[in-house]
Amino acid sequence: MSDTHMPPLHEFLTDPSRAERLDPALVSLVETIADACRAIANHVRYAAFEGQSGAAGGTNVQGEEQKKLDVIADDEFARICSDVPRLAALVSEERDEITWLKEPEEGDYLVYYDPLDGSSNIDVDLSVGTIFSICQMAEGDRAEVLKSGIHQVCAGYAIYGPSTILVLTTGTGVNGFSCDDRSGDFRLTHADLTIPPTTSEFAINVSRYRHWDDAVRVYVDECLAGETGPRNRAFNMRWTASMVADVHRILIRGGVFLYPSDADNRDKGGKLRLLYEANPMALIAEQAGGKASTGLTRILEEVPQSHHQRISVILGSSEEVTRLEEYHQRQG
């Protein structure tokens, strides 16, 4: 593919042939988030030289140990995005409270973000990323940030691996943009990403087997049984401990990702956060032709009760998500 077929992010977002013309303020916000992701990628790349590896010595609001880069990524994302005129508030995994930037008005935007997903992988040099979701404030919204995922106007993530890739949906498909280090531009390299409905690959943390509900345990057992089992084919299992990395692999070659609620985390609602992890990834999965579910309900229809709410997550190839929903319904 030549450069002529790789438009930069701004050209892609403002292309007059798009089915839906984007609000210029949204375009500006997305480009600013891309700038923040580029800056975070540089911190990740040079962490060892700048003394930014290892633990920060504290915990976040979730009670999870913070890495130095968690704090740096959060500060960088907030610093770069705070000057966007139509951005009313930031909701971060790393901050207990909502960061209000202005008196909210109709048409302003809200950004929910996980500044450095999978940061436990930093010290072993595996892929990490940034996840974000954008909603718009409607008339009468005044300071309302607890929006279900169906209200997202944009969702995306950046993955910091062999290359830095920004994956984005504005509600009309999913596209990936690789950062050209020579120019700093994000250019379209992965157009119209889709998740095939059928797969023979799943991603789950099997060390939690003893905590799983029967529905999840039966599903995984059937996959592991291979050609002689009820699925009549072999399955591969992958687990990176980085939602961004696992979901990106599914977008590129198919699969299903599971981080279900279980006996150990059910009192908290699950492991992953609804607003800045599950919702954006669910929108991306659906826009790519896949499904995203708690096992019983569509993630995007979940009504949040708090801005750090946790939830069960099953997403990816539609046939596998449907099968898992059937198993959950059968379990009762």
Instruction: List the binding residues.
Output: 93, 114, 116-120, 205, 271, 277
Instruction: List the binding residues for substrate.
Output: 117-120, 205, 271
Tell me, yes or no, whether 83 and 206 share the same domain: no
- What pLDDT shows up at residue 258? 98
- What pLDDT shows up at residue 53? 74
**Cα 13 from chain centroid (whole Å):** 20
Q: Which two tokens stand for residue 275?
A: 């607003």
User: Considering 190, 213, 238, which residue would you say is the last residue of a domain?
Assistant: 190
pLDDT over 90 percentage in the chain: 83
For residue 182, the enclosing domain spans 3-190
**pLDDT by residue (tens digit) across 133-173?**
999 998 777 668 999 999 999 999 999 999 999 999 999 99
In a domain, 195, yes or no: no
Question: Could you write out the DSSP letters of every residue in 44-86?
Answer: HHTTTTTT--SEEEEE-TTSPEEEHHHHHHHHHHHHHHTT-TT
Instruction: List the binding residues for Mg(2+).
Output: 93, 114, 116-117, 277
pTM of the model: 0.95
Tell me, yes or no, whether 51 and 152 share the same domain: yes
Read off the CATH number of the domain in which 286 is found.
3.40.190.80
Is pLDDT at 1 greater than 50 in this prediction? no
As beta bridge partners, residue 201 has 236
User: Considering 190, 212, 239, which residue would you say is the last residue of a domain?
Assistant: 190
Number of domains in the chain: 2
Mean pLDDT of the chain: 93
Tell me, yes or no, whether 179 and 207 share the same domain: no
- The region of weakest confidence among 15-19, 169-173, 307-311 is 15-19
Angle at 197 between CA 193 and CA 203, to 5 degrees: 85
Tell me, yes or no, whether 84 and 124 share the same domain: yes
Tell me, yes or no, whether 169 and 219 share the same domain: no
Q: Which two tokens stand for residue 267?
A: 């009192």
Tell me, yes or no, whether 37 and 181 share the same domain: yes
In a domain, 121, yes or no: yes
